[in-house]
Structure 1
Amino acid sequence: MLIQLAIIGILFAVIPLAVVLFSKEQNKYKKLIAVTLFLTFDLIIFGAFTRLTDSGLGCPDWPGCYGEANPFQAHSEIKAAETLLPTGPVTVAKAWVEMIHRYLAMSVGFLIMLQMGIAWWKRKTRPFSPWLATSLFVLVGIQGAFGAWTVTMKLQPIIVTIHLILALIILSLLVWAWQRESPRSTTKYSFKFRNLLPLAFIVLLMQVALGGWVSTNYAALACHDYPLCNGEVVPQLDFEHAYVLWRELGRTGSGDFLPFSALITIHWVHRTFAWVVFALLAYVAYLGRKHADTKTLSNGVLAVLLMQLITGVATIYFSWPLAIAVLHNAGAALLVLLLSMLNYRVRSSVANES
């Protein structure tokens, strides 16, 4: 089975590798990073789709599906589980969603392993240390472990949330690796802009973690209106149970059923902190628009912020439609990507080194 899975993962990587090999880009290594970055972004979105369609346990074992390399081979077991519980976590469709997600993850892992190999092989002729590529490889290994624990620990919220944050950190490091293959900026950026950017990135990751906590606890519809929450500005909150990190899905730390007030708290904190994030990122983007070489990226941040506001509110008013929920997750990943680009561009500026 493991050999079959490895072959499938490599086959999924063939097309992106072909794009690199047949590209007119002189710097093939840069192209490899760009393609890996694109696939990683897609993988994050598909991971959101997997989570939102409740397909995370579509195959209840790991790394295969009922001990097989693909749902075709495990069709009888999957079908038996679906017949027993048609609306349960194991169905033919959900099994395919989960396994395609794993195949894509394996292909990204293979491409990152290839990057590391090239970085070490050409370490004497390349201007950059191979340790960034090595760090990415290590993180992918850790991410794979959390992917396994997501299944074996039955979607435990803290495991799934860490899995999401690690994916975004990998995305950010790939942005860093990709951008350092290009000439560095010579712009002298304002002191305020330079120092607020890292803070904006950290605050954004905090908000994504809060959003992941909402999603993994199935709290997206705990408040059914907006800007009020169930008709109240500040509903009855239950921090005692809402942020106990080590617990089973739907349970308190002591094993009892999680009260609905805890889900309301999880939802309300995410939507309230969103305004802090919106204000900080909008201000940082405003500062970035004053510099010619960060204006486009800053405009992108403003556009995605607006999209996030619209999709976040629409998710509540339209009772969490799948397409809008996936788009909201994609917007979060896109903000991470854009802020990573801004942080690298400003931090690596030649003018700022003096």
Structure 2
Amino acid sequence: MTESVFKPQIHQQQEARDTFSPVVLIRRLVWKMAFATLLLMAVGSATRVMNAGLACPDWPLCYGQLIPTQQMNLQVFLEWFHRLDAALIGISAIAFVGLSCWYRKVLPNWLPGAAIFALFLIVFQGVLGGLTVTQLLRFDIVTAHLGMALLFFSTLVIIATALIPHKGTQAAGKLSWIGLTAAILVYLQSILGGLVASRWALHQCFAGFQLCNVMNGHILGVLPPTAATIALVWFAWRTPGLHATLRKLANAAAALVTLQILLGIATFKLHLQVEPLTVTHQAVGASLLGVCIAFTVLSLRDRTRQTASSMNN
């Protein structure tokens, strides 16, 4: 009788300890940073399509102020909020490094190094952000700025997914390679899309048939990542015993790639005249990248577990 009374209490105490364990706290922090980075890229896209990239003519302040209340309008707000979000992510990255080093004895050995690498990426991203303003939105710097943001986002997703408790079913096989291929192709296509946006290639092609090769490259470039994502979904559906989380990620990839194609067609047909549509197109692309990376990490862990099991046998 006494034992049955105390079992629920022991279970609750264990859950409380797990909730406030260093691994759980850091994992939650990294996921929040990842979602904040996704928001940062969406706001950055809105800043571009609203011609607000130079709404704050100086950097890192805006009109020499932390909050430019007198100059505030929609364009200034977008650029100012973009910088605010980036600053909060930077502070979070510093906290991430501090927590990883402080609790390093109870954390995976690779985590402090990964945290330092993520901090390096966000610092470099801040430098590129400053250069986009001081160099008056040079297209190569703007494209590199997006590429670094996607790399930082990918790093956070890798770290957070690696910290998720995942026993796996040892059924993933070579799906990790398909996921990695899809992730790389989606990343490259996103960079190409950033180049199209930073050079305003779509507008110039429609207006005077200039830079049509850049625009057409992005249109044709949709084929490899789409094919890789479809292959990922197909083989995931046909793999018996695959972990439920991996199946959910595969379904999410299928939904996102379908939505992304529809958004791309609509954006092209409407000549980028509907700003929310353009912003959503970029955000869905980044989300698809995150899903492919999460699938790759979990399937790789599943495969590693399968290899270890085979060696033990």
- TM-score, normalised relative to structure 2: 0.84
| 2:284 maps to 1:336 | no
Name the amino acid aligned to 2:68: P
Please list, as runs of the form range in 1=range in 2, the aligned pairs for 1:137-286 lying within 5 A after superposition.
137-222=119-204, 260-286=208-234
CA contact (8 A) 2:171 2:243 kept: no
Report the equivalent of 1:246. none
Q: Deviations over 1:31-79 (max 9, x none)?
A: 212222221111111111111111111111110123222212xx3xx5x
* CA distance, structure 2, for counterparts of residue 124 and residue 99 of structure 1: 39
Deviation string, structure 1 residues 229-252 (Cα, Å, up to 9, x no partner): xxxxxxxxxxxxxxxxxxxxxxxx
Q: Using CA pairs under 8 Å that are at least 6 residues apart, name the structure with larger relative contact order, 1 or 2.
A: 2
Separation of aligned partners in 1, 2:53 and 2:19: 38
More helix by share: 2
- 1:54 counterpart letter in structure 2: N
Q: Distance in 1 between matches of 2:214 and 2:137?
A: 17
1:327 deviates by 0.9
Name the structure 1 match of 2:106: 125
> What residue number does 1:302 align with?
254
Q: Deviations over 1:4-38 (max 9, x none)?
A: xxxxxxxxxxxxxxxxxxxx933222221222222
| Aligned twin of 1:347 | 300
- Is 1:46–2:27 an aligned residue pair? no
Letter in 1 for 2:166: R
TM-superposed CA distance for 1:150, in Å, is 0.6
May I ask how many residue pairs the two structures share in their alignment?
282
- Give the unaligned 5+ runs of structure 2: 1-17, 309-313
CA distance in 2, matches of 1:167, 1:275: 23
Contact 1:71 1:92 in 2 (8 A): no
The aligned amino acid for 2:133 is: V
Out of 332-341 and 215-224, give the one that drifted further: 215-224
Tell me, what secondary structure is at the counterpart of 1:202? helix
Amino acid paired to 1:298: A
Q: Does 1:292 align with 2:221?
A: no
Of the candidates 33, 57, 62, which is equivalent to residue 60 of structure 1?
57
What is the TM-score with the length of structure 1 in the denominator? 0.75
Q: Distance in 1 between matches of 2:19 and 2:251?
A: 27
**What's the CA shift for 1:272?**
0.9
How far apart are residue 262 of structure 1 and its match? 4.0
Q: Kindly, what percent of the aligned residue pairs are identical?
A: 27
Q: What residue in structure 2 maps to residue 28 of structure 1? A: 25
2:59 equivalent to 1:105: no
Given residue 78 of structure 2, which amino acid in structure 1 is its aligned partner? V
Deviation at 1:223, TM superposition (A): 5.7
RMSD, aligned α-carbons: 2.1
Following TM superposition, by how much is the alpha carbon of 1:190 offset from its aligned partner in structure 2, in angstroms? 5.0
Cα offset, 1:353, TM superposition: 3.6
Q: Deviations over 1:126-180 (max 9, x none)?
A: 2333100110001010000000011111111111111111111111111122122
Q: 8 Å contact 2:253–2:291 — kept in the other structure?
A: yes
Moved over 6 A (4+): none
* Aligned partners of 1:222 and 1:267 also within 8 Å: no
